[in-house]
Structure 1
Amino acid sequence: MPQLLSPAQLRQRIRSGLYTGHTSGLAQGYVQCNLTILPADWAGDFLRFCQLNPRPCPLIAMANSPGDISLPSLGDIDIRSDVSSYRIFRHGQLEDEVADIRSLWRDDLVTFALGCSFSFEEALLADGLDVRNVSEGVNVPMYRSNIPCQSAGDFAGNMVVSMRPFKAADAIRAIQICTRFPSVHGAPIHFGDPRIIGIKDLEQPDYGDPVSIKQEEVPVFWACGVTPQVALEKARPPFAITHSPGCMLVTDLRNSQLAIM
């Protein structure tokens, strides 16, 4: 069962093509990362974009040099094969989704690993809260919002947000818990009426899957690491690679190492 695998074991199964699904709920206790890979001459502006927008783009690690396929601080990783699904962008347009990028790798590519909300979900579950995408076994719903990011060079656009529904008291508890995890998006950025942040229909997420919302619950929204994909559409670099939404880089870094006690 994938749920019982260590991060290294799960990456090995992904690397060998034996696992191709989303990673929500897997390798519990360990940090999962969003992924952005860019040519070196675009990397500086993207790094600045992350620094200016730490809520949706919390930088966990980046490659030591262009062409480096490893991220030693996160484990024994081959970034070309250790994510279950990659998105390929050319000039800001999504061109393809693939399970392996070894044939596409270039010596000028720079890898960025960004914090993911799957890390704080574990803390919510440990407190007894129902994280709906986990309990329903689906990918978390994600939406394009009207919340603007700060621009850096050609990188710009609005924030993508993820949503989890809670009763009001549980929403307050979720805010308290997630405030301890600024490296993986931190506290929610909005709860309540989704129209205020530009979301018209919660049943139609832009990424991921819809989840059930009970009558007494309110939607709670967090900044989301799919935001760089919107920024790529705006910046239109000639070539870029990201993870597919929900298909994260599973690392050997423990969630507890990111928590502020």
Structure 2
Amino acid sequence: MTNLASQRLPSAPSELRRLIRRGCWAGPTAGLARGYVQANLVILPADWAYDFLLFCVRNPKPCPLLEVTELGSPIPAQTAPGADLRTDLPRYRVYQDGQLIDEPTEITGWWRDDLVAFLLGCSFTFEDALAEAGIPLRHWECGCNVPMYRTALACVPAGRLHGPLVVSMRPIPARQVARAIEISARYPLAHGAPVWIGDPAGLGIADLDRPDWGDPVPINEGELPVFWACGVTPQAVALAARPPLMITHAPGHMFVTDWPVSRVERE
């Protein structure tokens, strides 16, 4: 991996979160705290929480549920008991009535007693397994964020929530695609196997060089674009369904849990 920043950051989740809490790291988390589960974050008012829980049940590929916090509590008691979801992610996004209004590095000032936080599995979790199998990860090589795209595929609606599926893309050598599918399928709580391989037009994506979130990466000769369901999907839902308040991670800036990857790996 050529992302030098990751080489000087602590590998223990609690130490990395402490550094993030102090404002010392505000970048993407791909390749950090390797061997530990990373998670997407969604925070909603309690009167929207049931709709979102139902949305996760109906759309488990983009929204594999890891934890739901107690009402009004920012503490992820199951996945990282000593953490604080208000401060321990590198960057957040705040949506009001379907509009992105802020991208802070902490959300203490936004926190309310009626909020519920959801942690969803993330494909960064299985990237170590891909790398150990010799499968290249272009965003690691480039030291950038993974590219993410809004698709033309609709998620299954739930209550007031609706919107398109979002996918992340990794270029994979054609000869290694089957192995990438096999490995990622072992992690259903981290989006599991890809949802599409090859021509992005099949997903309604017009231009891979213009991701909706993250950074474009080159696709080399002999490689295929491989697409996984993505936990940024709730942010597309926020734009479509316009809840009065939704707070999320900034794309690629995940919450690092204390769970080892083996905890979510299927035999």
1:239 is aligned, of 241, 245, 248, to: 245
Structure 1, unaligned runs of 5 or more: none
Match of 2:263 in 1: 257
Q: Which amino acid aligns with 1:124?
A: L
1:4 positional shift: 3.7
2:148 is aligned, of 120, 142, 147, to: 142
1:2 positional shift: 4.2
Compared with structure 1, are the counterparts of its residues 231 and 126 closer, same or farther at alpha carbon in structure 2 (3 Å cutoff)?
same
1:192 positional shift: 0.6
Match of 2:76 in 1: 71
Match of 1:164 in 2: 170
After superposition, the C-alpha distances for 1:62-108 in whole angstroms (9 at most, x for unaligned) are 10x21111011111111110011010110011011001111111000
Which residues in structure 2 correspond to 1:1-261 (within 5 Å)?
Answer: 1-63=7-69, 65-75=70-80, 76-261=82-267
Work out the CA distance in 1 between the residues paired with 2:210 and 2:236. 18
Work out the CA distance in 1 between the residues paired with 2:184 and 2:245. 34
Over the matched positions of the two proteins, sequence identity in percent amounts to 51
Q: Aligned pair count? A: 260
Work out the CA distance in 2 between the residues paired with 1:122 and 1:115. 15
Q: Alpha carbon RMSD of aligned pairs, Å?
A: 0.9
Query: Where does structure 1 differ by over 2 angstroms across 4 or more consecutive aligned residues?
Result: 1-5
Match of 2:4 in 1: none
Q: Which amino acid aligns with 1:161?
A: V
1:5 positional shift: 2.9
| SS state at 2:103 partner | strand
Work out the CA distance in 1 between the residues paired with 2:103 and 2:92. 5
Compared with structure 1, are the counterparts of its residues 144 and 193 closer, same or farther at alpha carbon in structure 2 (3 Å cutoff)?
same
**TM-score, with length taken from structure 2:** 0.95
Work out the CA distance in 1 between the residues paired with 2:43 and 2:250. 13
Mapped contact 1:2–1:10 kept (Cα < 8 A): no
Mapped contact 2:93–2:104 kept (Cα < 8 A): yes
**TM-score, with length taken from structure 1:** 0.98
Work out the CA distance in 2 between the residues paired with 1:32 and 1:178. 14
Work out the CA distance in 2 between the residues paired with 1:103 and 1:260. 39
